[in-house]
């Protein structure tokens, strides 16, 4: 109905490839431009909650991804030193029964590879070494052109900016603005289980501590453990959005933590270091024949493990809106549906930073103790908060048109 026959996408990350696949399955010609010289993702883990798995299932990816998945048994928050549980909410088979889809841990590279292979089979054209500089619209021809730094242009009926927090598409649409450093950095790494001397619980675990927290969970069927170590910093001097981190500095930052954490860090030989950046809510996600998706329009702190999931949900909704409405109406409805949901998750993620880092000293510890008491005395209250995130079913909201 939208009369979109050809789409060009800036960015071949998870959001961009999910969108490309969803559109290609509708018979739309898709070109994806990626600035990297080869397809791939930095080695790190992803928590794929049921709300995201439902979309991956709808895209036909569940069977291929199942070979790489690890199923965590609990979502847990533990004390950084004693190991005491503040929260231990069941996942595993109970989560799948409750939400209608599993909760998986996946290596980002595995998901990216499965997506890229599926896109190629669906006829998506993937163009590498394609650094985006901006775009231009041609109203007379009813087209938009994605412009690259080597002078090439790719015309289409619609341009999708899935090019991350430093999106060139967003910059042209809404003006130049640097991302805002959120006062925190994240160290990320993957460790073979064979290198560990202490057993790691089969959970999605957050270790909460003063001014920092540590996340650990298994990947690839339990052969590896992924870690994310977040610490508060007053500034960030590096121009890179990620860089090789000093593992010894990381170990010093988390010295004296629980043996599970210490053993993981002692086994770490390398880690990437990210600055955690954000943006204020954008006034709009679309303009003319260009629209934004994922981190390009709603970057979020990783404290709900929903960044990739939100981009995956975006991809499905945008594709469904384009199949139902004329172009302008499709983009308006996409933003109407997605903006409240993404904003809610952004706010939840930001709120968790204070909880995980025990902000307020004794008061911060009291908040964790209150969470512990609520989890014990009123588990349904805690579960209802997770239901709002994991129980969201975008497929039911937008059933595929027959």
Q: Among all chains, which residue has been given the structure tokens 């847990």?
A: 76
Give the chain's mean pLDDT.
91
pLDDT of residue 207 exceeding 60: yes
- Residue spans per domain, the chain: 6-178+279-397
375 vs 96: CA distance, rounded Å:
20
* Kind and range of the H or E run holding 63: helix 62-66
Tens of pLDDT, residue by residue over 288-328, are: 999 999 999 999 888 899 999 999 999 999 999 999 999 99
Q: How large is the greatest C-alpha to C-alpha distance in the chain, in angstroms?
A: 67
Query: pLDDT confidence of 1, banded at 50, 70, 90?
Result: low
In the residue annotation, 217 being an active-site residue is answered as yes
75 vs 230: CA distance, rounded Å:
18
Tens of pLDDT, residue by residue over 166-182, are: 999 999 999 988 888 88
CA atoms within 13 A on the CB side of 302: 24
Specify the pTM.
0.94
pLDDT of residue 402 exceeding 80: no
Which pLDDT does position 363 carry in this prediction? Answer: 63
Selected residue with higher pLDDT from 373 and 139 = 139
Q: Among 141-155, 160-174, 213-227, 384-398, where is mean pLDDT lowest?
A: 384-398
Element counts in the chain: helices (H) and strands (E): 13, 19
- Residue 127, classified by CB atoms within 10 Å of its CB into exposed (0-12), middle (13-18) or buried (19+), is middle
Tens of pLDDT, residue by residue over 242-253, are: 677 889 999 999
pLDDT of residue 241 exceeding 60: no
246 vs 248: CA distance, rounded Å:
5
CATH class of the domain defined by 6-178+279-397: alpha beta
Which pLDDT does position 353 carry in this prediction? Answer: 82
Q: Among 45-59, 191-205, 360-374, 386-400, where is mean pLDDT lowest?
A: 360-374
pLDDT of residue 41 exceeding 70: no
State percent of the chain over pLDDT 90: 73
80, 99, 217, 316: which is the annotated catalytic residue?
217
pLDDT of residue 31 exceeding 90: yes
Which pLDDT does position 238 carry in this prediction? Answer: 62
Q: Which residues, in sequence order, are CB contacts of 350 under 8 Å at separation 6+?
A: 300, 301, 303
pLDDT of residue 239 exceeding 60: no
Which pLDDT does position 9 carry in this prediction? Answer: 98
pLDDT average, residue stretch 74-90: 92
Which pLDDT does position 73 carry in this prediction? Answer: 95
Which pLDDT does position 360 carry in this prediction? Answer: 58
Tens of pLDDT, residue by residue over 340-391, are: 999 999 998 988 888 888 775 656 677 777 777 766 756 666 677 788 899 9
Which pLDDT does position 396 carry in this prediction? Answer: 93
Which pLDDT does position 43 carry in this prediction? Answer: 63
């Amino acid at each position: 109905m939208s009369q979109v026959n050809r789409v060009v996408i800036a960015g071949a990350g998870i959001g961009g490839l999910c969108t490309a696949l969803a559109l290609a399955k509708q018979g739309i010609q898709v070109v994806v431009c990626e600035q990297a010289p080869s397809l791939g993702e930095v080695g790190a883990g992803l928590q794929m909650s049921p709300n995201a798995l439902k979309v991956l299932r709808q895209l036909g990816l569940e069977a291929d991804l199942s070979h790489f998945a690890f199923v965590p048994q609990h979502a847990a928050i533990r004390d950084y030193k004693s190991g005491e549980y503040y929260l231990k909410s069941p996942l595993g088979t109970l989560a799948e029964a409750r939400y209608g889809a599993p909760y998986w841990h996946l290596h980002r590279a595995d998901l990216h590879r499965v997506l890229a292979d599926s896109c190629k089979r669906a006829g998506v054209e993937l163009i590498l070494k394609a650094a985006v500089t901006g775009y231009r619209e041609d109203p007379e021809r009813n087209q938009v052109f994605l412009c690259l730094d080597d002078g090439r242009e790719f015309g289409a009926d619609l341009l999708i900016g899935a090019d991350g927090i430093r999106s060139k598409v967003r910059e042209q649409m809404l003006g130049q603005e640097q991302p805002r450093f959120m006062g925190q950095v994240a160290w990320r790494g993957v460790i073979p289980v064979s290198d560990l001397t202490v057993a790691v619980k089969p959970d999605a675990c957050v270790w909460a501590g003063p001014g920092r927290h540590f996340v650990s969970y298994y990947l690839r069927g339990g052969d590896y453990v992924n870690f994310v170590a977040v610490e508060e910093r007053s500034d960030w001097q590096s121009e890179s959005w990620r860089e090789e981190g000093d593992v010894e500095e990381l170990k010093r930052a988390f010295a004296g933590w629980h043996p599970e954490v210490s053993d993981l860090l002692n086994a770490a030989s390398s880690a990437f270091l990210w600055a955690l950046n954000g943006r204020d809510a954008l006034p709009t996600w679309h303009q003319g024949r260009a629209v934004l998706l994922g981190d390009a329009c709603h970057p979020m702190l990783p404290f709900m493990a929903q960044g990739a999931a939100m981009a995956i949900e975006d991809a499905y909704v945008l594709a469904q809106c384009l199949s139902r409405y004329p172009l302008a109406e499709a983009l308006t409805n996409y933003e109407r549906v997605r903006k409240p949901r993404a904003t809610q998750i952004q706010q939840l993620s930001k709120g968790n930073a204070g909880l995980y880092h025990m902000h307020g000293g004794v008061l911060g510890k009291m908040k964790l103790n209150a969470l512990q008491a609520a989890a014990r005395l009123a588990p349904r209250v805690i579960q209802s908060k997770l239901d709002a995130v994991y129980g969201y079913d975008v497929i039911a909201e937008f059933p595929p048109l027959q």
